[in-house]
Amino acid sequence: MFVRAFARAATRTATPRPATTNAIRAAALRRAALSTAAPSGGSSKVPIAIALIAASAGAYYYGVQSYPAIKQSAEQAKADKAAAAAEEEAPKEPEPLDYRKVAADIAELLDDVDYDDGSYGPVFVRLAWHASGTYNKADGTGGSNGATMRFGPEAGDGANAGLDVARNRLEPIKAKYPQISYADLWTLAGVVAIKEMGGPSIPWKAGRTDAVSAESCPPQGRLPDASKDRKHVREVFNRMGFDDREIVALMGAHVLGRCHPDRSGYHLPWTYNPTTFTNAYYTLLASEYWKKEKNWDGPMQYSNRKGTGDIMMLPTDMEMLWDRTFKQYVKEFANDEQVWFDAFSSAFKKLIELGVQFPAEAPDIVLE
């Protein structure tokens, strides 16, 4: 009977209840003391009961003590898993664009035996020039920022006829590097073309943005008109902030490319090597015998060999000879190509940066 009572007590103690360690130990000692009065027939069952009590107490104790740690560990694992999942789902910051790689890919687009004189280089330079040459320092409008030639009003300006060829040629670059703005792409293409055709390495920096609508287009008529005189030339360039020496330096870009009757109305190249960047524009301008071209029903232009030659100059080019101040710089650049390279590099960098608010950390990139 005592053993059954003892067993019932053991069963009750096996049910987990909050208790202190000292209370558990005291209860175990009291039950152990009572076992000395057990009948002789129950001696083999008492130690078993005591062992069960001790095991239950130990299991309860260690379970109570370790449960918070187990719970904390499980919660931490769950939190770590959630954090890892959130990190995977979060949008990753795009890697900085390597503009040297962009430049290298642009260079691969230059040569094409089926286009003009075998190179898109000259039309890339013209694109960069015309995209930038609309700037007005008086109100800060125009310039390369915005790439507004993407919109009808500027693309349809007669001065920009044929530049869709250059813009379309560069579309694969934009598709490959969507982070680059059109404004940066077009100006970089001009810098790359000049370098690849033997010209100076013009420092270039990124940070131009693209306009979102045609409302940002500058008014037409801001680009030079080839049929006009020196007064017009100065008005156009002074509006952007260029002096006479810079004007003559930038006119030297006519060493590249040729005129097309279906674009500007004029024809023929300015030099004999229209895909090579040299000071030949100045040497030819200063040394050839230029006359109004004969046997030509287009707008007035000048040709060498007394008007029957195979290269030409536009009326605005001839103003570089006829104006005393302009002429001194023509001679300077004809006599020293490196002097012109330096002057052109400085003026062209200024041109393609007019009106642009670059990020403070934007570095100059010089192509090697």
User: Catalytic residue numbers?
Assistant: 130, 270
The residue among 282, 322, 290 whose CA lies nearest residue 307 is 290
Angstrom distance (rounded) from CA 320 to CA 307: 18
Take residue 159 and report the two structure tokens written for it.
């001065």
> Please, which residues bridge with residue 146 across strands?
210
Asked whether 133 and 163 are in contact (CB, 8 A), the reply is no
| Residue with tokens 């080839």, as numbered in its chain | 226
Q: For 13-25, b where at least 16 C-beta lie within 10 A, e where not — what string?
A: beeeeeeeeeebe
Cα 312 to Cα 7, 69, 94, 301: the distances in Å are: 121, 90, 49, 7
Residue 107 corresponds to which amino acid? A
Asked whether 367 and 201 are in contact (CB, 8 A), the reply is yes
As a whole number of angstroms, the longest Cα–Cα distance in the chain is 145
- Intra-chain end-to-end CA distance of the chain, in Å: 104
Question: Element (H or E) spanning 259, and its range?
Answer: strand 258-259
φ, ψ (nearest 5 deg) of residue 323: -90, 125
Asked whether 190 and 119 are in contact (CB, 8 A), the reply is no
What are the start-end ranges of the H helices in the chain?
2-13, 21-34, 46-89, 99-108, 121-132, 152-155, 164-169, 171-176, 182-196, 230-240, 244-251, 280-287, 304-307, 315-322, 324-335, 337-353
